[in-house]
Amino acid sequence: MKILDRYILSRFLFNFVSCFTILMIIFIFQAIWLFIDDLAGKGLDLWVIGKFLLYYSPSLVPTVLPFTVLLASLMTFGSLAENYEFAAMKSSGISLYRAMRSLIVFMVALGGFTFYFANSVIPKAEFKAYNLRKNIAKVKPALAISEGMFNDIEDMNIKVEKKYGEDDRMLKNVILHKKNSRGENLLVIKAKDGELISSEKSDILKLKLIDGYYYEDQKPSNPKNRDNYPHAKAKFEIYTLNMDLSQVNDVNLEDESYNTYKMYNVGELGVLIDSIEEHNSTAIHNFGDNIYKRTGITTIKRALISPDGKDSVRVKEDSLPPPAPDNDLLSLFDPEKKQRILDVARGNITNIANTVSAKKDELLRKDMVLNYYLMAMHSKYALAFACVILFFVGAPLGAIIRKGGLGLPMVVGIILFLTYHFLGMFARNYAKDASIPPILGAWLSTLVMLPLGIFLTRRATADKGVLDTDSITEPVKKFFQRFRKSEE
């Protein structure tokens, strides 16, 4: 039996390694296209780009590994069934469970390794990749001005219709927006032509604008006079701008000062989740106390006096008389003051309602942050279980369809994986805003595949198809046969 176990395991490992390598290459190329805007035009050497792809690759494992397990199990057991090797095993008294024994042990070990990888390697790689990407995004060569789009350089946005001439130094139809220290866009310059004079290696970018207009919004000291000073306009023949890019280009690619929820292991996430929950609970409690005091209930209680009119007393809410037309606080005031009190109360209620509405969005954002951390922690466990469960989906399904290679198994594997992947994606999106519990968002796709794996394993063990059509058609045939006999 050890020979059979080694044979099946070697066939599976060959398919597993082949599929994993091919899928990783495909997804890495997809990542290159995804981050092409961040990498292109930065003057980066191949070492920096290769290091970024190396750091980014582990984050692809949660997507590639389940697909690999599903596809490798489909191909392996489909090929064994197609070549009648399973028929030979069954004739020798070897069941499907026995044939899967070595792979079950391997999948359990792979699940444990997957959890370790997701808990230790992926957070560190995500930390390196995220920080390197952020630092790369800051790198701007002196002449990185693309045609037909706004290019953010220093505190300016520059758009050119066309670049031509030697080294693309000449510009056609230039639009420039300049921001002030507050980030306000008050200055706009339009020119028919332009020229870049400084070299690409220089830290000083000299932009010479020719034949254009200069517009600047004026901000009077009194806002009421704004209509009298709409903007200043001036025409120029030549206008020169010098931009110092030394600070922009001086970027430390090894800076690691960024952190996200994907960069922590299970232990760190547990501590952070407890801290966030405590912080959110404190924020809700403090906001409730603040709203309670703003209602004026405490002031009303202090204003209540004893029947003899001498001492101020504290009265519990349940001891206050019930409101009635002849027995309420407003009856103590004349109609004019009563109306003022009602107006003040209405204004307070409106202000409180607006405050609650604004605070609601802030509290929802806090809950969303908590949901991200909860999903990040449970996704590490769900990934390990998903590898094992998808094996029990792919292996029996391959034995049922009896097709190996990259034909039908590939089609079936893609359909099943897309179902698994999109279920997980939709569940996580719904869990972010607490439409569903965040823990369910991390586990939903795995839980959906669990009954499918049990069903397919039972069908394959009983040597039945995916769907028993006879159990559906036979009752229909018997019904019509009885109907004909009754007519006769």
Q: Look at the block and give the residue holding tokens 């001498």.
A: 310
User: Are residues 107 and 134 located together in one domain of the fold?
Assistant: yes
- Could you tell me the two tokens for 448? 């959906």
> What DSSP character marks residue 261?
G
Among the listed residues 370, 377, 383, the one whose alpha carbon sits nearest the alpha carbon of residue 60 = 383
What pLDDT is stored for residue 429 in this prediction?
A: 86
**CB of 441 closer than 8 Å to CB of 431:** yes
Q: Evaluate whether residue 483 is within a structural domain.
A: no
Under the phi-then-psi rule, with left for phi > 0, alpha for psi from -120 to 50, and beta for the rest, what region is 173?
left
User: Are residues 114 and 53 located together in one domain of the fold?
Assistant: yes
User: Are residues 13 and 128 located together in one domain of the fold?
Assistant: yes
- At 316, the pLDDT band (50, 70, 90 cuts) reads very low
Global confidence as pTM:
0.64
**CB of 123 closer than 8 Å to CB of 107:** no
Count Cβ atoms within 10 A of the Cβ of residue 212 and give its class: 0-12 exposed, 13-18 middle, 19 or more buried: buried
CA quadruple 141, 147, 152, 155: dihedral sign: positive
**CB of 64 closer than 8 Å to CB of 27:** yes
Look at residues 372, 393, 426 and tell me which one is the last residue of a structural domain.
372
User: Are residues 197 and 221 located together in one domain of the fold?
Assistant: yes
Q: Evaluate whether residue 336 is within a structural domain.
A: yes
Q: Evaluate whether residue 482 is within a structural domain.
A: no
Partners of 232 in the beta sheet? Answer: 216
Q: CA torsion angle for 108, 112, 115, 118 (degrees, to 10)? A: -100
**CB of 170 closer than 8 Å to CB of 195:** yes
Mean predicted lDDT score pLDDT of the chain: 77
Q: Report the range out of 91-95, 190-194, 196-200, 411-415 with the highest average pLDDT.
A: 190-194
User: Are residues 12 and 135 located together in one domain of the fold?
Assistant: yes
Q: Evaluate whether residue 155 is within a structural domain.
A: yes
User: Are residues 340 and 323 located together in one domain of the fold?
Assistant: yes
User: Are residues 122 and 17 located together in one domain of the fold?
Assistant: yes
What pLDDT is stored for residue 307 in this prediction?
A: 45
What pLDDT is stored for residue 65 in this prediction?
A: 92
What pLDDT is stored for residue 459 in this prediction?
A: 82
User: Are residues 182 and 229 located together in one domain of the fold?
Assistant: yes
- Encoded amino acid at 274, one letter: D
Q: Evaluate whether residue 487 is within a structural domain.
A: no
What pLDDT is stored for residue 253 in this prediction?
A: 44
Contacts of residue 242, defined as CB under 8 A and 6 or more positions apart, other chains included, come to 204, 205, 206, 207
For 54-68, how does the pLDDT look when each residue is reduced to its tens digit (9 = 90+)? 888 888 898 899 999
**CB of 251 closer than 8 Å to CB of 135:** yes
**Residue 166 confidence (pLDDT) above 50:** yes
For 173-214, how does the pLDDT look when each residue is reduced to its tens digit (9 = 90+)? 888 888 776 667 778 889 988 887 765 455 566 788 888 888
In whole angstroms, what is the distance from residue 82 CA to residue 76 CA? 10
Q: Evaluate whether residue 486 is within a structural domain.
A: no
Look at residues 353, 372, 391 and tell me which one is the last residue of a structural domain.
372
- Encoded amino acid at 107, one letter: M
Q: Evaluate whether residue 281 is within a structural domain.
A: yes
If one counts the domains in the chain, the total is 3
**Residue 387 confidence (pLDDT) above 50:** yes
Which has the minimum average pLDDT: 147-156, 248-257, 297-306, 456-465?
A: 248-257
Domain span at residue 335 reads 263-372
Q: Evaluate whether residue 55 is within a structural domain.
A: yes
User: Are residues 359 and 234 located together in one domain of the fold?
Assistant: no
Q: Are strands 156-164 and 170-179 parallel, antiparallel or unpaired?
A: antiparallel
**What value does the CA radius of gyration of the chain take, rounded to a whole number of Å?**
35
Q: What is the DSSP secondary-structure string of 389-455?
A: HHHHHHHHHHHHHT--TTSHHHHHHHHHHHHHHHHHHHHHHHHHTTSS-HHHHHHHHHHHHHHHHHH
User: Are residues 398 and 445 located together in one domain of the fold?
Assistant: yes
Higher pLDDT, 243 or 383: 383
- Could you tell me the two tokens for 268? 């760190």
User: Are residues 121 and 178 located together in one domain of the fold?
Assistant: no
For 125-158, how does the pLDDT look when each residue is reduced to its tens digit (9 = 90+)? 888 887 777 666 555 444 456 677 777 766 778 8
User: Are residues 368 and 396 located together in one domain of the fold?
Assistant: no
In whole angstroms, what is the distance from residue 370 CA to residue 362 CA? 13
Look at residues 315, 338, 372 and tell me which one is the last residue of a structural domain.
372
- The enclosing H or E element of 301 equals helix 297-303
Q: What share of the chain is helix, strand, coil (3-state, %, to 5)?
A: 65, 15, 20
Q: At CA 455, angle to CA 69 and CA 97, rounded to 5?
A: 65
